[in-house]
Structures are given as structure tokens and as C-alpha cells.
């Protein structure tokens, strides 16, 4: 099963994904895409780490997400990726359009063929005002296109607002 969980900052999307992964009855591997580049990110990472069960596996991969998914996916495993917009940011910061396109296509191509359960978490960024800068507008555009492509491949898509899940595709 492929699931995409979208929501704004502090919407409860990660907590929901962690609950669903824990309830799956499968071995869980958490795939973190963030890079602790400053104190604020260190604090966010520590917060997420503290609420995860100790028996969950953890892999940190800021760029080659599809490769890690292919290596880790198994029928008896749930992979939880948190979060796709940080992964996208990491790729945008490389300023290598070919790499961004290749990694994005690799992710989209590998998803339908992965065994087991995959839960993808991402920030819904396209519901606010249009950003002023070129890079931030591109980020919002790229995230929107990625979400549309992932939603087409997912069996379930959930929007989380104020800690409440709303099923956009598939049942809760």
C-alpha cells in the first residue's frame, strides 16, 4: 500500500503517519530526509526522534530516496518517509536541474513496484499566498507537481489539518 499524508506545519501529519506505521503490525523503518544544518532543525529532529519507538529502524537520506526505498522495501516492512518537501528542498539547493528531475522520476518510477507498505509525509505548501522570491515560487510549484504525481500513484491520500485527518483518496 502506498499512502501520501499531506498537511501544513504542525498539522499532525507526522504523528498520524507514525500512528499508522505503528498500527501496521509490520517492522517499521523511518527514512528521514532532513539535514540538521542549524539549531532549529536539530531541535525538530530531536522532537521526532523522541516520539518514535526504539525498535524502529532509522535511515537518514537527504537525496537518493528512491535508492533507499528499493533497498529497504520488503513485504513484511513499513517504510515511513518524513518528509518529501525537505527532500525536495535538498535537491533544489544543489542547483542541478538534471539531478532533481532524475531523482524525482526515480522516486515516481519505483513506488508502484515496492513490496510492503510505504507512507510518505509531505508539507502542503500550495494553499497560502504566492511567495515573493523565484526560488520559493519554484519550490511551491515543484512540491505541487510532485504531490499530484504521488497522489496518482497512491492508494490512499490524507490531508491533515489541526490534527484531524481527511481522506482525499481511499478510506481512513
The whole-number pLDDT of residue 46 equals: 74
Q: Facing residues of 31 across strands?
A: 59, 81
The whole-number pLDDT of residue 35 equals: 75
Is 47 one of the annotated active-site residues of the chain? no
The whole-number pLDDT of residue 37 equals: 67
18: how many CB neighbours lie within 10 A of its CB? 21
Is 158 within 8 Å of 5 (Cβ atoms)?
A: yes
Distance of CA 133 to the CA centre of its chain: 24
The whole-number pLDDT of residue 104 equals: 98
The whole-number pLDDT of residue 126 equals: 83
Q: How far apart are CA 85 and CA 142, in angstroms?
A: 9
For residue 63, is pLDDT > 90? yes
Query: 42, 47, 48, 147: which is the annotated catalytic residue?
Result: 48
- pTM, full prediction: 0.93
The residues spanned by each domain of the chain are: 2-169
Read off the pLDDT of residues 22-49 as tens digits, 9 standing for 90 and up: 999 999 999 999 877 666 766 777 777 7
Asked: is 2-169 a CATH 3.40.50.300 domain? The reply is yes
Q: Across the chain, what does the average pLDDT equal? A: 93
| Higher-confidence position of 135 and 43 | 135
In the Cβ-directed half-sphere of 49, how many Cα atoms lie within 13 Å?
12
The whole-number pLDDT of residue 129 equals: 78
For residue 149, is pLDDT > 90? yes
Q: What is the arithmetic mean of pLDDT over 84-103?
A: 97
Q: How confident is the model at residue 52 (pLDDT cuts 50, 70, 90)?
A: confident
The whole-number pLDDT of residue 155 equals: 98
Q: How far apart are CA 43 and CA 25, in angstroms?
A: 29
| Grid cell locating 71 | 533497498
| Grid cell locating 153 | 500513484
What is the distance in angstroms between the CA of the first residue and the CA of the last residue of the chain? 13
Amino acid at each position: 500500500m502506498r499512502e501520501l499524508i499531506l498537511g501544513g506545519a504542525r498539522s499532525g501529519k507526522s504523528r498520524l503517519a507514525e500512528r499508522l506505521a505503528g498500527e501496521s503490525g509490520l517492522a517499521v523503518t523511518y527514512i528521514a530526509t532532513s539535514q540538521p544544518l542549524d539549531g532549529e532543525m536539530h531541535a525538530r529532529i530531536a522532537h521526532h526522534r523522541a516520539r518514535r519507538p526504539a525498535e524502529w529502524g532509522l535511515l537518514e537520506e537527504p537525496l537518493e530516496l528512491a535508492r533507499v526505498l528499493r533497498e529497504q522495501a520488503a513485504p513484511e516492512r513499513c517504510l515511513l518517509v518524513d518528509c518529501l518537501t525537505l527532500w525536495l528542498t535538498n535537491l533544489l539547493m544543489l542547483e542541478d536541474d538534471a539531478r532533481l528531475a532524475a531523482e524525482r522520476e526515480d522516486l515516481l518510477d519505483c513506488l508502484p513496484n515496492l513490496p510492503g507498505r510505504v507512507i510518505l509525509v509531505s508539507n502542503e505548501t500550495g494553499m497560502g499566498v504566492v511567495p515573493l522570491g523565484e526560488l520559493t515560487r519554484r519550490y511551491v510549484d515543484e512540491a505541487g507537481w510532485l504531490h499530484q504525481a504521488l497522489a496518482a500513484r497512491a492508494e490512499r491520500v490524507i490531508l491533515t489539518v489541526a490534527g484531524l485527518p481527511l481522506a482525499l483518496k481511499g478510506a481512513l
